[in-house]
Amino acid sequence: MTIREERDWTEWFRETFGKKPTLADYGNAAFEGRTKEYREAAARSYARLFVSPYGELDPDAGKYMPIEFREDFRIESPFFQEWEEKARKTDLKKNAVYMRWYEKTLPEREAYKKVALKEKRIKHYMLAEKYKADNMMHMRSLAKQWTNLYDNKVLTIAQNEYFAAKFMDIIKKDPTTKAYLPDTIVNMPGSKVATPFYDEVMKFINEDKEGYEGFFAIKGDLRGIAMLQLKKDAEQDQHFRKHPKEAKAHADAIKRRLANVEKAYEKYYVSPPLGETAKDSAPPQTKDVAR
């Protein structure tokens, strides 16, 4: 059994066994599961039960949980690593169980951070490669929905912002999926319709330094090239917002280029040359001599 990183172990357990996992189920899975991926998924899922969607963690959280979790003083403990990622720092400092683990692992923390960051980036790279087709299809599906709303003139501001966030969620996994963004957004930087998406791009670059730099950490990772281009596009969008005349000229130039491409396609691939029939313009037939 494998569990995708994005999927919650508790959700998988309910779907598989038709019941809510008990403390024993969490413990058995987290410490006796057959694979490292399975054990970590169970431990992290159990850890999330103590943290609210807003990152709140009660000072007494974990006080009465199984000793296997409470006294797992390994620096790589997936349970406490999950708490560090999901819970608010101020709440963590008030939690006795967490602070005990923190103090015992203090000497190892600096070295572990470097190793963990490297492993995390490699893992994200492998996931992007493994699910490249899924991410591409998801982006194309969202782009099709967005384009349908836009073409029918029913795309609202709220919907546009919703899709912008969804587009960015996929790009955070694999920036190469930018190739499947709606043409309207790509061809109209500086416009109101493109603004929400490029705001999401700049927000990611400015606020998630670790995630952004991760695309350039692995040699030969094409996601880094795609992310650099996306950054340039977002910067161009910001420039055009301040210079609307340049934005219009840019959009008009793209329209003319696309129109020329369409005319060329019709001339050379669809319509026969003037004075000829489709039969006349067809390539000459050669006699098959292969016997």
- Tens of pLDDT, residue by residue over 224-278, are 999 999 999 999 999 999 988 888 888 788 778 767 766 766 666 655 555 555 4
Per-residue pLDDT at 290: 39
Instruction: From residue 111, give the alpha-carbon distance in Å to each of 107, 118, 130.
Output: 9, 11, 29
- Tens of pLDDT, residue by residue over 83-141, are 999 999 999 999 999 999 999 999 998 888 888 888 889 989 999 999 999 999 999 99
Amino acid identity of residue 105, one-letter, is: T
Per-residue pLDDT at 260: 72
Per-residue pLDDT at 7: 59
Higher pLDDT, 59 or 269: 59
Per-residue pLDDT at 114: 87
Per-residue pLDDT at 198: 96
pLDDT of 212 higher than 90: yes
Residue 12: alpha-carbon gap to chain centroid: 21
pLDDT bin (cut points 50, 70, 90) of residue 220 is: confident
Concatenate the DSSP letters of all residues of the chain into one string.
Answer: ----TTS-HHHHHHHHHSS---HHHHHHHHHH-SSHHHHHHHHHHHHHTTB-TT--B-TTTTTTS-HHHHT---TT-HHHHHHHHHS-HHHHHH-HHHHHHHHHHGGGHHHHHHHHHHHHHHHHHHHHHHTHHHHHHHHHHHHHHHHHHHHTT---HHHHHHHHHHHHHHHHH-GGGGGGS-HHHHH-TTSTTTHHHHHHHHHHHHH-HHHHHHTTSSTT-HHHHHHHHHHHHHHHHHHHHH-HHHHHHHHHHHHHHHHHHHHHHIIIIISPPTT--HHHHSPPP------
Per-residue pLDDT at 18: 94
pLDDT of 78 higher than 60: yes
- Tens of pLDDT, residue by residue over 130-177, are 999 999 999 999 999 999 999 999 999 999 999 999 999 999 999 999
Q: Work out the burial of residue 216: count CB atoms within 10 Å of its CB; fewer than 13 is exposed, 13-18 middle, 19 or more buried.
A: middle
